[in-house]
Each structure stands twice: as structure tokens, then as C-alpha cells.
Amino acid sequence: MRRAVLAAVAVVAAVVAVNTQSEKLDYAAIGKIRDEGFNRSQVMDHISWLSDVYGPRLTGSPAIQQASEWAMRKFGEWGLANIHQERWKFGKGWSLVRFSAMMLEPQPQPIIGYPREWSSGTKGPVTADVVRVQIANEADFAKYRGTLAGKIVLTQPARRVRMLEGPIILRMDDQYEKEAETTPVPAPAAGRGRGPSTGSGQVPATAAQAFRDKLEEFYAAEAVVATFDRGSDSDMADGGSTLSWQQQHPDGGTIFPSGSFARDDKVGKSVPGLTIAVEHYNRMIRVLDKGLPVRVELNVETKYYDEAGMNGFNTIADLPGGDLASEIVLLGAHFDSHPYATGATDNATGSAAMMEAVRILKASGVKPRRTIRVALWGGEEQGLLGSKAYVADHLADVDTMTLKPEHAKLSAYFNSDNGTGRVRGVWLQSNLAVRPIFERWLEPLKDLGVTILSPRSVSQTDHLSFDNAGVPAFQFLVDRLEYNSRTHHSNMDVYDRVQRDDMVQQATVIAVFAFEAATADEKLPRKALPAPQRPAGRGTTSSAQR
């Protein structure tokens, strides 16, 4: 069977290769795109607006609505069409109003930290003693019952802080390029995307999550003032995209808050929870171990937003095509961010690159045959919710794999969501039939360092929603730089970490790729349609409700 499948793939690839040889690239048009992209780039200005002015852009917050309105105004200025929002049910929104934390004893010290998203507030400034707990299961509750009222609780042990010994900056050197061009042995099957979602967009509880919920209820019942954590137990992070590369978190005041409080009917019922710098956290532990008091003044004010107007949305605009205008080439990036910084590299860079790509195409005067649509997704950080909602509305019910008419009209989806690095190629998502096509499309981009076509399937971002619906969907392969070491989901994801030259290249490469997809004689070849996610008879649950 495997030999038959491989033979079939080889035949398809051979047919595609013959067809692509007869297609001529429009080098004059590509030259215009490159000229506009490199000589009149506006991508850094887009990033500044999205991060400096409207960041952070947490889904359901006023800031992401303001950012969307700004993006739609820009689309209008550039002459795009069909500019609109598409809304879907998300749950309560949240934003931080103000925050301060100051150690008072044993000596005064400002504390670097940030409330975790959807945290409640302190109802004004409070001063409290800090205590440390060691709670591994519900049986441990008894040791602390009646002792924590009015206290700030440290929830983890100290963590060793190392010098910068590991890699901080990752680029696709020869070693990683060779690895990317291999096909890894598949891991045991684990659900699609970031896990299934309920109708409200919440990830179903696991045993570990159920215990965390019980722990939050315990802290609230004990009248704890707030909890402090110091983030991950390790200072190392995967480089991402299934490769073996690793990056070291630099610490030094950079924090990586993890975990979100509920945004359903439990919203606001937990005590405030904050992640603080590991160095400040460790100091508190050491002082407590000496039997001395630690006192902190804390002020957290947050605000929640009701669902009434549907807090989730995607922002859409079209560059109309010509003779094949009913067919779509879709460019997408998630527009939302976590609230801990300004969401510059995750993902103002990807959103700005897609915006700039359509601006370049419009300004250069080239004539795509297919319509090029740009979509800026909300809710990616909570489980690819915006792109899932688009798929459900426009393309397919993936629970039953019932296709809608637009499914046949979508030629391809291209995604950008790995930071500020240069485009080095494309993750083929196991769609080997597109390789000869993409090899030809890369010819006018090789001088820009775009050479890699990895057969690997990658996940954890919005192209997966389309891949799971049987649409050709691809993530651009970029240099990770400091993405996983310093900026990804941290308090240092700010404009200053963005690399201008790399972003100019990224937006221009995406514009060229979109143009080539929109002018090709045929839509891109597709993999076999995936099996339904919920076979008939088991019931269905939409990932995002309209």
C-alpha cells in the first residue's frame, strides 16, 4: 500500500512538473513588486502602529478593535475592496488598567512582573506578607487551611539562574537547513491544532487543569491576596517547527507568563495571579528561608468586557482579481497578542507583512488573475479560534468534513507567524505535489536567501485550520532569531526587537509568492481530504460560534 501511495505521489509530481515547465513567470511584474517592496517599504510603520499604538491586542479588548479599525482604514486608503469584520463568539474580554508591585521588606525594591491574562484585581493597593507553599495535590490543602488569609502566596520553588550559555539567536544555517529538508518519524497522534475547543472557545479541562481549578478555588476560599509565580521550570525553549534547535531564555527581567484565567462563567472569581522575574522571585524565597518577613505592596486593576457584541472577530479585505476573480489566494496572520508587552514579533510582524504584501501588489500595479484576500485573525492565542471560525463559515464543517462551495474556490492559504526573521522558504505541510511548483516560484527569490522547501508538517498556528479542512495551506519558514529565546509571549515582545531589513524582505517575498499563486494557470494541488474530526453519531461541537 505504501509503495502504491508513493508511486501515485510521484505520478502527480511528475504531471505537475511538466505543467509548470510550460508556465512562464512574469519577471517584469515580479521586478515591479521587488522595486516597490524594497524601495518604498512601509512595513515598519505598520508594525509601529500595531505595537506602539495599539499593542497589546488581546482578543476581546478595546485595543484589538482599535487596531482593526486602523487596519481597515489603511485597506481603504490602498484601494482594497470587501473590507469588513467577521465576528464570532469568544467569551469575556479583558484588559489591564494599572499595575504596580513594590517590595517593602526587607528592603524597598520595585518588582518586575505582570498579571496573567483574565486575572482579577486587588480592588486598590494592598500591603501583604509573602508566604511560600508546597501544594502538589488536594491532600496538601489541609496543611495550609486557615493560614493564608491576607497573604501573597509564592506557588513554586526557586529556580537556578544560569549565565547565558545556550544559543540565543537562531538562523537557518547548514545544519538546520539539512534537518528541515528531511521528513521526521511521526510522533504518536495527538489531536489537531492546539486541542479541541468547546463552544465558548475554552479548551476542555484535563486532569492537571482540573487540579489547577481546584487550587484556584482553594486560594479564593482562603482569602489569599494574590499568587506569584516565576514561570517555567526551565530556562530552555524549543526553537519550534519540529527541529532539534533549542534556545535559552535570557532571564534578566524578561518574563514569560503562562496560563490564562477563565473567561467563562468563572471569570473574575480567582485571586489575582502574577508572574514575576525569576531573580526577584528567588530573592523572596531566600529571605523567607532565613526566617525573615517579606512584605509587598501590590496594586492590580483589571477590566472585563461582556460578550454582547461578540468579542471575537477577523479583519478581511480583498485585492480583486481578473479573469479568475472568483478564485481566492488567502494571506493570513494572527492579529491578536498576549497582553504582556505590545505583541510586536507575535504577531504584529506577521500581520504587518501580510498588510504590506497587499499594499505592494496594489501600488506596483500588477494584475493578479485570482483575488488575493488578506485575513487578520483574532483568537489565535486561545486555540486558532478566528481561523477556525473562518473555515467553518466559508469552507467546511470539519466535524463531518462537509464542504461548502467556497472550498473549491480557495487555491491556497499562506501564513506568517514566527517573528521578525527573513523568509528562508516554505514548510510544505507534507504536500509533496506542490514542490515542483514552488521550486519554480523560488527562482526569482533565491538571491534573497529563499531556498528551502521542507516536506515537514508544522503546527501551532493558523495554517493548520485550513490544512485540517483539506485546503493547501502553508507556513513561511523564517529565521527564528530571538523569537523563542526573548520575545515569544514575553514582556519584551516590543518594536525594538524587530529587524527592519528582514521584515522588508519578508513582506516582499510574500507579495511575490501571492502574485505567483494568483497568476498560475491552475490552483495548487491538494492532499487527500482529511477524515472527519467527529464521525457521524458522536455529536459535533463548533470551535467558534457565530
Place of cell 484565567: 261
Q: How far apart are CA 521 and CA 172, in angstroms?
A: 32
Residue type, 224: V
pLDDT of residue 387: 99
Q: How far is CA 356 from CA 36, 339, 372, 457, 518, in A?
A: 10, 24, 13, 26, 17
Q: How far apart are CA 112 and CA 117, in angstroms?
A: 16
pLDDT of residue 23: 78
Other CB atoms closer than 10 Å to residue 401's CB: what's the count? 17
Reduce the DSSP state of residue 468 to 3 states and report it: coil
The HSE-up count of residue 224 (CA atoms within 13 Å, CB side) is 28
pLDDT of residue 17: 47
Residue type, 250: P
Where do the structural domains in the chain lie, given as residue ranges?
41-90+310-422+459-519, 93-182+195-305
- Among the listed residues 484, 338, 467, the one whose alpha carbon sits nearest the alpha carbon of residue 420: 484
Q: How far is CA 42 from CA 47, 72, 513, in A?
A: 9, 16, 19
Give backbone dihedrals phi and psi of 311, rounded to 5 degrees, phi first. -75, -15
Q: How far apart are CA 516 and CA 441, in angstroms?
A: 7
pLDDT of residue 268: 83
Contact 456, 428 (CB under 8 A): yes
Q: How far apart are CA 490 and CA 256, in angstroms?
A: 4
DSSP, residue by residue, 157-206: -------S-S---B---HHHHHHHTSPPPPPPP--STT----TTSPPPP-
Sign of the torsion angle spanned by Cα atoms 89, 92, 96, 100? negative
Q: How far apart are CA 469 and CA 457, in angstroms?
A: 15
pLDDT of residue 186: 64
Find the helix packing angle between 500-519 and 349-364, rounded to 10°: 60
pLDDT of residue 2: 37
Q: How far apart are CA 174 and CA 505, in angstroms?
A: 20
CATH topology of domain 93-182+195-305: Glucose Oxidase; domain 1 (3.50.30)
Q: How far apart are CA 215 and CA 225, in angstroms?
A: 14
Query: Is 41-90+310-422+459-519 CATH 3.40.630.10?
Result: yes
Q: What is the pLDDT of residues 141-191, one digit of tens each?
A: 999 999 999 999 999 999 999 999 888 999 998 998 899 999 877 655 444
* Residue 94: exposure state from Cβ atoms within 10 A (0-12, 13-18, ≥19): buried
The HSE-up count of residue 452 (CA atoms within 13 Å, CB side) is 27
Q: How far apart are CA 546 and CA 534, in angstroms?
A: 20
What does DSSP assign to residue 392? I
What does DSSP assign to residue 224? -
pLDDT, mean of each 10-residue run, the chain (546 residues) = 40 46 86 99 99 98 98 99 98 97 99 98 98 97 98 98 91 90 68 40 67 95 98 87 85 92 83 98 99 99 90 98 99 99 98 99 99 99 98 98 98 97 97 98 98 95 98 97 94 98 99 99 97 65 40
